[in-house]
Structure 1
Amino acid sequence: MITQTGASFRSAEEIGRTVAGPRPLPPLDGRTAHTMPMPLDTVLPNGLRVIAVRRPSVPMVELRMALPLPASTYGEAATAEVVAATLLRGTPGGGRGRSLSDPAGQGISLDASRSAGRLNIVASAPGPALGTLLDTLAGALTSASYDEEDIVGARARMPRQIAVIRAQPQVIAQEALLAHCYGEVPALQEVPLAAEAERVTADRVRRTHRAWVRPRGAVLVLVGDLDPERAVVHVAAATAGWQDTGAPAPAPELPAPRGGVALVPRAGAVQSQIRLARHTVSRSDDRFPALSLAALAFGGYFSSRLVMNIRETKGLAYRTDCGFQDHLDRLALTVDADTATDVTVRAYGEILAELRRLADSPPSAAEIDAAREYTIGMAMLALTSQAGFAGSVLTAVTLGHEPDRVIRFPELLREVTTGEVAAAAGAFFSPGAFSGVIVGDAEQLEPGLRALHDRLKAHD
């Protein structure tokens, strides 16, 4: 017994035991069915799609919004970045990267950012302040001022920010992968070019806003302590002045990927980045649930084959992963690894060997069950908060699914058989089907990679 300031405390060991012995642990329940609150899903007369879901777990409302923001040139990609950086500057109380609060201190936060092909808006507010949030957002969408001072400030900051981001090995490797596979495709560019950002003018930003920041094709998701019908009515009233500005720009076409794996020189680098990718079926394809489990069992989480081999057992990689990337309208299966220069060739050889081994020895029932429970658990965890639920719904919808995909997909995973995963492994993991790059010190890597290539060619 531990005594402190007159109070009695029991140790952890004492708490965990009874007179009859240790307290039994309750059974784990990994099969709890999650239900989807009935969403109100409607398209307003101006073309804006609004999805409102009541989840009053806390007295807050989360807002997530995505608007198509295509770019056919690198100049347009840089202009879109400035649009995102300054969209809220002229909004009363607004500002990128900082909280927005009205004079009454309603505790609203609002932020805009850009990803490849999309303008993203993230906001939250206490339930009673939802009206203020919607009015503020509508004001930015319909009448952002884009003052010359704000544009000049953004244009001055961006080159420094871009230089820091573009120096990151992950960014260098991703851009090298896309360039090798497709050549120049500005619509895929996540980080604009500094030289292009310096040429952006306020007039160009205003023209881009008028042409691209349009309601048709945009999706707004509201989740939280709200009445869905009243919320949609308020969105409709707030955005009544936000009218469609014509036909959207045609979607950029993605060329067929270039084959082979290229060595991208990075002189003096002490680390290398291995990036492999191949096109695969869409997420709406009946084979995708099985393919996602095959990818997870192969290299998508801490107990997967690739992680256990080249990271945990052999210590060849700092990080390795297998997953999916959206390349415009195509879905790519990707395999990544970050390694030290002196073990890059060996790590790459092990990746190729694991890919071949997956077809010859597909994941067992135990591997599939472990991968299934992991991904279902992560998906369900994302839905426990209002913010996670709103983000998951928006992601599902922007990828072409209905809102209930967030709870239907885990159920689809439960139905996948061992045979279906084996078929996916055999169909999509052949090493020769992957294109890619190895970014690193070419002087040190080239001889080893050439020797590895010769050995593999002789073996085949």
Structure 2
Amino acid sequence: MTGVLPRPTISAPAPWVFPAPRSRRLGNGLDVLVYDLPGRELAAVRLVFDAPLAAEGRDGTASLAAGLWTEGTEELDAPAFARRIEAIGASYWASAGHEGPVAGLTAPTARLGEALGLLAASMMRPAYAEKEFARVVREERDAIEERRARAEYRAYLELNAVLFTPESRLSRPLGGTAADLDALDVAAVRAYHERTVAPSAATLVLAGDFRDTDTDALVDAAFGAWTGTAAPTVAREPVAAGPRVLLVDRPGAVQSAIRAGIPSIDRHSPDWASLRVGTYALGGHIGSRLSTVLREEKGYTYGVFAGNHPLRRGGLTTIACAVETGVTGAALADLAEVVRTTVAGGVGPAERDIAADCFLRVGPVAFQTGDALADQVAGYVSEGLPPGFFNQWQDTVRDVTAESASAALAAQLPFDGLSLVVVGDASKTEAAVRDAWPGELLVVRA
């Protein structure tokens, strides 16, 4: 009989460090960030534009333009372009966010040059064909109607409209309304492209195993001839409209979608890490205060979540859940009580430790793929943060105390500043909402 091997010792995990990029700027103004990730043979590419929706001009234009980037170039119509993307084992998508559009590619590192060439062609020589434009508009109109039919999404839309004045682009749907799309044409999309899509307003992010790849040469070959200058962006400070209470009537609804929120700080703020810790304790996980009461103790909902949503300037702190129609008032009363008591009494050291452990130990697990890391960097770029922000963020989280988290929560989430939107059957919930939540209630039809 052989001897028993000694039990291996387990040491504490070492702090994870966000990798540093190789950075440079092309002569045309394009910024390039390259992240070498050994073992990731799928390269992730993100092309991020500094073009906030506040400078969009006509609502819906940015989303349509981004949607058409994947629909061919002057040399390749939509089917031929799709076949080329598929032939090299790549995937290509594009979308427009509040801070600007982003184009994303994933391709085998061995075919990176071809993938970059297709991406560059879609920027320099997009087809913007009438046929594809009409199809994308139809698809987007259908998607708009489908999203508005979902109570949770409708609550999200209405909360933004409540929190910001009509003049703020943040108060209106990101992709515009069906009426907005009907008023657009290919000429409007081309005009948006000409004043927005330029190398001087773009950052190219690459992440993957590039040990045997000359990324500089590939980027130069694909994007070196790109020319043009983007129009200056405009200030994008959202304007708060003040706290309001809104009930969107959906007769016959068996559930009420609840969303409360308030304008808040962004990741540039020195209080950002403290606010994140405080919000996590309030409603960021299944053991949080809101979840303990509304889900575990009362059984009102499958999940209730509080979160922080940063923009380049400012942001939102929100609370969201869905409950059965008959308990709408009770759930709102308990939600209000948990927020009040948490803000008044603060969070404890154990709650601080749980949040910090999640952000410092669990959070880095999300960056194990090139796509995840590239997406994170793209978000930093769009918000005007340095590529190494994650490491700064970890340092600030370590310094957060229960006292600083409590102070940030009290400053950024005063209950009397919260706006509320409920989407549900008004005939069964109106009186309950009035009783449970302070403020003048406005009831509108879905």
Cα separation, partners in 2 of 1:426 and 1:186, compared to 1, 3 Å: closer
User: Residue in 2 aligned with 1:406?
Assistant: 390
Alpha-carbon shift at residue 343 of structure 1 (Å): 0.9
Specify which of 344, 349, 359 is matched with residue 375 of structure 1: 359
Pair 1:155 & 2:137 matched: yes
User: Residue in 1 aligned with 2:444?
Assistant: none
Decide whether the 8 Å contact of 1:316 with 1:343 is kept in 2.
Answer: yes
Cα separation, partners in 2 of 1:194 and 1:87, compared to 1, 3 Å: same
Written as runs of structure 1 = structure 2, the 5 A alignment for 1:91-240 is 91=73, 101=84, 105-184=87-166, 185-187=168-170, 188-226=172-210, 230-240=214-224
User: Residue in 2 aligned with 1:336?
Assistant: 320
Alpha-carbon shift at residue 406 of structure 1 (Å): 2.2
User: Residue in 2 aligned with 1:444?
Assistant: 428
Unaligned runs of 5+ in 2: 440-446
C-alpha separation in 2, matches of 1:263 and 1:327: 27
Any idea what SS the aligned residue of 2:14 has?
Answer: coil
Amino acid at match of 1:115: G
User: Residue in 1 aligned with 2:401?
Assistant: 417
Specify which of 233, 236, 248 is matched with residue 232 of structure 2: 248
Cα separation, partners in 2 of 1:326 and 1:421, compared to 1, 3 Å: closer
Decide whether the 8 Å contact of 1:40 with 1:228 is kept in 2.
Answer: no
User: Residue in 2 aligned with 1:282?
Assistant: 266
Specify which of 14, 36, 40 is matched with residue 32 of structure 1: 14
Alpha-carbon shift at residue 401 of structure 1 (Å): 1.7
Decide whether the 8 Å contact of 1:356 with 1:429 is kept in 2.
Answer: no
Cα separation, partners in 2 of 1:299 and 1:102, compared to 1, 3 Å: closer
Greater Cα shift, 246-255 or 115-124: 246-255
Pair 1:310 & 2:294 matched: yes
Any idea what SS the aligned residue of 2:58 has?
Answer: helix
What are the Cα deviations for residues 127-175 of structure 1, in whole angstroms up to 9, with x where unaligned? 1211111111111100101112111222233322221122111221111
Greater Cα shift, 173-182 or 407-416: 407-416
Decide whether the 8 Å contact of 1:317 with 1:338 is kept in 2.
Answer: yes
Any idea what SS the aligned residue of 2:59 has?
Answer: helix
Cα separation, partners in 2 of 1:138 and 1:348, compared to 1, 3 Å: same
Cα separation, partners in 2 of 1:28 and 1:280, compared to 1, 3 Å: farther
Decide whether the 8 Å contact of 1:94 with 1:110 is kept in 2.
Answer: no
Specify which of 323, 330, 350 is matched with residue 307 of structure 2: 323
C-alpha separation in 2, matches of 1:33 and 1:240: 38
Any idea what SS the aligned residue of 1:308 has?
Answer: helix
User: Residue in 2 aligned with 1:295?
Assistant: 279
C-alpha separation in 2, matches of 1:102 and 1:174: 35
Cα separation, partners in 2 of 1:25 and 1:428, compared to 1, 3 Å: farther
Cα separation, partners in 2 of 1:429 and 1:196, compared to 1, 3 Å: closer
C-alpha separation in 1, matches of 2:307 and 2:11: 28
C-alpha separation in 1, matches of 2:403 and 2:55: 45
C-alpha separation in 1, matches of 2:9 and 2:94: 44
CA root-mean-square deviation: 2.9
C-alpha separation in 1, matches of 2:420 and 2:8: 48
Alpha-carbon shift at residue 359 of structure 1 (Å): 2.8
C-alpha separation in 1, matches of 2:438 and 2:405: 32
Length-normalised TM-score, structure 1: 0.86
Specify which of 230, 242, 262 is matched with residue 246 of structure 2: 262
Structure with the larger RCO, 1 or 2 (CA within 8 Å, 6+ apart)? 2
Unaligned runs of 5+ in 1: 1-17, 456-460
Written as runs of structure 1 = structure 2, the 5 A alignment for 1:41-80 is 41-71=23-53, 76-80=58-62
Q: Considering only CA atoms, is the larger Rg found in Structure 1 or Structure 2?
A: 1
Aligned length: 434
Cα separation, partners in 2 of 1:302 and 1:55, compared to 1, 3 Å: same
Cα separation, partners in 2 of 1:34 and 1:248, compared to 1, 3 Å: same
% same residue: 26
User: Residue in 1 aligned with 2:341?
Assistant: 357
Alpha-carbon shift at residue 229 of structure 1 (Å): 9.5
Any idea what SS the aligned residue of 2:48 has?
Answer: strand
Cα separation, partners in 2 of 1:157 and 1:419, compared to 1, 3 Å: closer
Alpha-carbon shift at residue 28 of structure 1 (Å): 6.7
Decide whether the 8 Å contact of 1:298 with 1:306 is kept in 2.
Answer: yes
